[in-house]
Amino acid sequence: MTETDFILKDFSLENITNGSITWKTPSNIALVKYWGKQEPQIPENASISFTLDTCFTLTTLEYRKLNAERSHNFEIYFEGGKKEDFKPKIVTFFKRIEQYVPFLTEFEFVIKSENSFPHSSGIASSASGMGALALCVMSLEKAINPTMTNEYFNKKVSFLARLGSGSACRSIEGPLIVWGNHPEIEGSSDLFGVKFPYKIHDNFKNYQDTILLVDEGEKQVSSTVGHQLMYNHPFAKQRFQQANSNISKISKVLQSGDLPAFIAIVESEALSLHAMMMTSNPYFILMKPNTLKIINEIWDFRVQTNSNICFTLDAGANVHVLFPEKEKETVNNFIKSNLIQFCQENHYICDSIGNGAISIFNSAE
């Protein structure tokens, strides 16, 4: 599919007046990372992520048809309060998607959003937040054009979400989503995320992700700036090749269930992402001393117990501890006894792989 397939043409708003749509949309954690992009939000390499379950954004879009066209007419409330500083990102998003959803300017909106995780936790909320907003917009399109198929609905949601935040296009469905054109992943595209198209080995069913909140502050360097620093980065070309080759490897591993190979790819990806940050110009470090202490504890525990525990990192100091469901009890005991001490105020979140966004309410249905 190409960009033009996502443009809504010849629509009528005759039967639409006002209403309300609510979606619950999960966050995701990348196993092979997206770091580096071209305009308009085209990734430099393919990435793959586990969709999460407990970490989600709940967004309601209230819409009312206007008598005359007006641009980007909306209010935004976050966790009960008006959030003026969220507006510019949403205006940019609406401007980027307007050509694909031209009815947008004929409505006024109230957006109400809340996260299941603390906003200041350092967990990226742009993936679940932009994913949820894209879903609400597409439910409105579905009310206008009810004959649309579910397949088209999901593809276009992911396509729109990508224009809000790259990683958001991997938050619509689950349990494993690939974004970025890759010769070995059938159906993959730079324009939207697709479900991993091959059989996933039982070892990865209900995989666990315990998120250790090492640093709950605002990030010193945003992902947007980080992506920009991949232009003219001395190792950019090698990094994009490495990521694409890791997609080939992890695709086989996810089918065969080879846990040691999975661990080697996932941990190397996390450290390669942070190595890019440390070698960009200007350079920066998002890991904290406790991030490294946790990593070393995980490595020691793995050697001592033969566990399949491993870690990955986002663009921040928090550590995602990944492990198979059957090790839940032993790993959770280890986390409580050895790792919680390195978390800010002992905060952590127990999550696991999820199946994607859920429609909570739709007055048009």
Q: How far is the CB of 31 from ligand DP6 (least distance, A)?
A: 9
Tell me whether residue 38 or residue 346 sits nearer to ligand DP6 (CB atom): 38
**Residue 314 interacts with ligand DP6 (CB under 6 A)?**
yes
If the CB atoms of residues 7 and 42 are measured against ligand DP6, the closer one turns out to be: 42
Alpha carbons 286 and 314: distance in angstroms, whole number: 9
- Interhelix angle 87-97/150-164, rounded to 10 degrees, is 130
Distance CA 313, CA 30 (A): 9
Whose Cβ is closer to ligand DP6: residue 29's or residue 143's?
Answer: 29
CA distance 20 to 53: 24
Nearer residue to ligand DP6 within complex by CB, 19 or 174 = 174
Residues touching ligand DP6, count (CB under 6 A): 17
Q: Find the binding residues for ligand DP6 in span 80-119 (CB under 6 A).
A: none
Residue whose CB is less far from ligand DP6, 166 or 356? 166
Least distance between ligand DP6 and beta carbon 359 (Å): 23
CB 177 to ligand DP6: min, Å:
10
Could you say which of 113, 139, 158, 167 contacts ligand DP6 (CB under 6 A)?
167
CB of 146 or CB of 217, closer to ligand DP6:
217
Closest residue to ligand DP6, Cβ-based? 166
Distance CA 173, CA 31 (A): 16
Nearer of residues 315 and 322 to ligand DP6, judged by Cβ:
315
Closest separation between CB of residue 43 and ligand DP6, Å? Answer: 8
| Window 121-140: residues binding ligand DP6 (CB under 6 A) | 124, 126
Task: Supply the minimum distance, in Å, between the C-beta of residue 49 and ligand DP6.
Answer: 6
Q: Are 57 and 129 in contact (CB under 8 A)?
A: yes
The single residue among 19, 122, 166, 174 that binds ligand DP6, judged by CB under 6 A, is 166
**Beta strand residue intervals within the chain, DSSP E:** 18-32, 37-38, 42-43, 47-65, 73-78, 81-82, 107-115, 176-179, 193-195, 208-212, 310-313, 319-323, 348-352, 358-362
Name the percent of the chain in helix, strand, coil, to the closest 5.
40, 25, 35
- Residue 120 structure tokens: 């200041």
Site for ligand DP6 in 259-288 (CB under 6 A): 273
239 lies in the binding site for ligand DP6 (CB under 6 A): no
Reported residue count of the chain is: 365
Number of H-type helices and E-type strands within the chain: 8, 14
| Cα(319)–Cα(291) distance, integer angstroms | 7
Contact region for ligand DP6 (CB under 6 A) — 86-94, 159-167, 242-250, 303-311? 159-167
- Give dist(CA 45, CA 42) in Å, integer: 9
- Pick between residue 214 and residue 331 the one whose CB is nearest to ligand DP6: 214
* Cα–Cα dist 16/10, whole Å: 15
CB within 8 Å of 301: residues ≥ 6 apart: 307, 309, 334, 338
Give yes or no for residue 196 binding ligand DP6 (CB under 6 A). no
- Contacting ligand DP6 within 214-233 (CB under 6 A): 223-224, 227
How far is residue 71 from each of residues 76, 109, 124, 359, measured CA to CA in Å? 15, 11, 28, 27
Of residues 10 through 49, those in contact with ligand DP6 by CB under 6 A are 30, 33-35, 41, 47
Q: Which two tokens stand for residue 141?
A: 């399109």
Which CB atom, from 47 or from 307, has the smaller least distance to ligand DP6?
Answer: 47
Q: Which residues in this chain contact ligand DP6 in the complex, by CB under 6 A?
A: 30, 33-35, 41, 47, 124, 126, 165-167, 223-224, 227, 273, 314-315
